[in-house]
A and B are shown apart, each in its own frame.
Chain A
Amino acid sequence: MSGHDAPPTVGVSTGPATSLAYHTGTWRTERPVYVELSPPCSLACPSGEDIRGWLGSTQEGAEGFEAAWRRLVAANPLPAVMGRICYHPCQTACNRGSVDEEVGINAVERFLGDTALDEGWALPSPAASSRRRVLVVGSGPAGLSAAYHLRQLGHAVTIREAAAEPGGMMRYGIPAYRLPREILAAEIRRIVDTGVVLECSTPVTSLDEAQAEFDAVVLTMGAGVAHHVDIPAAAASHIVDAIDVLRDVASGKPPLLGRRVAVYGGGNTAMDAARTARRLGASDAVVVYRRTREQMPAHPTELDDAVGEGVRVQWLSTISAVDGPKVTIERMVLDEEGRPHGTGEYEELDADTVLLAVGQDADLTLLADVPDVGVTDGVVAVDPATLMTGRDGVFAAGDVSPGSRTATYAIGRGARAAKAVDAWLAARVLPAEPPAREATTDRLNTWYYSDAPKQHRPELEAARRVTGFEEVLAGLDAEHAVFEARRCLSCGSCFECDNCFGMCPDDAIRKLGPGMRYEIDYDYCKGCGICAAECPCGAIDMIPEVR
Chain B
Amino acid sequence: MTTVHIPFLQTGTLAVGGRLLDDAQRSLQSHADRPSSLTKGHRACQGCAEALAARWVMDTAVEAAGGRLVVANATGCLEVFSTLYPESAWKPPWVHSLFANAAAVATGIAAALHAQGRDDIRVLAQGGDGGTVDIGLAAVSGMFERNDDVLYVCYDNQGYMNTGVQRSSATPASARTATTPAVGRNPGQAFGQGKSMVKIAMAHEIPYVASATVADLRDLEAKVRTAMSIHGARYLHVLVPCPVGWGANSAESISLSRAAVQSGIFPVIEARAGELTDVQRIRERAKVEDYLRPQARFAHLFRPGGEDALERWRVLAEANIRRYDLLGGAS
Q: List A residues at the B interface (Cβ < 8 Å).
A: 11-24, 27, 59-60, 447-450, 452, 483, 486-488, 490, 495-499, 501-508, 510-515, 521, 523-524, 526-530, 532-534, 536, 542
Contacts and interface: CB of A to CB of B under 8 A. Distances in A.
Contact of A505 (B44, B90, B217): B44
Q: Which 5 A-B pairs have the closest CB atoms?
A: A450-B12, A498-B17, A529-B251, A502-B16, A19-B41
A209 B49 CA distance: 76
B40 A506 contact: yes
A533 B252 contact: yes
20 contacts: A13-B95, A14-B91, A15-B83, A18-B88, A59-B20, A450-B8, A486-B9, A490-B10, A495-B10, A502-B29, A502-B30, A505-B49, A506-B40, A510-B32, A528-B250, A528-B253, A530-B251, A532-B251, A534-B255, A536-B15
A514 B243 CA distance: 33
Nearest to A515: B19
A530 B26 CA distance: 20
B52 interface: yes
B55 interface: yes
B42 interface: yes
Nearest to B56: A502
B94 interface: yes
B254 interface: yes
Given A501-B29, A506-B51, A513-B32, A527 B43 contact: no
A15 B8 contact: no
Interface in B58-117: 70, 82-91, 93-95
Contacts of A505: 44, 47-49, 51-52, 55, 253
A546 B283 CA distance: 41
Interface of B: 8-20, 26-27, 29-30, 32, 36, 38-49, 51-52, 55, 70, 82-91, 93-95, 214, 217, 243, 249-255, 258, 284
Contacts of A490: 10
A12 B93 CA distance: 6
A19 B10 contact: no
B18 A449 contact: no
A501 B16 contact: yes
A488 B88 contact: no
A16 B86 contact: yes
Given A19-B39, A498-B26, A506-B40, A536 B251 contact: no
A499 B93 CA distance: 28
A190 to B, nearest CB: 31
Given A18-B89, A21-B41, A450-B8, A507 B36 contact: yes
Contacts of B11: 448-450, 497, 536
B230 to A, nearest CB: 24
Given A15-B83, A486-B8, A533-B251, A447 B41 contact: no
A173 to B, nearest CB: 38
Contacts of A536: 11, 15
Nearest to B54: A505
Nearest to A494: B19
Contacts of A529: 46-47, 249-251
A59 B10 contact: yes
Given A17-B88, A18-B41, A526 B284 contact: no
Contacts of B251: 528-530, 532-533, 542
Contacts of B49: 505
Contacts of B12: 448-450, 452
Contacts of A11: 70, 93
Contacts of B20: 59-60, 486
A14 B88 contact: yes
A530 B29 contact: no
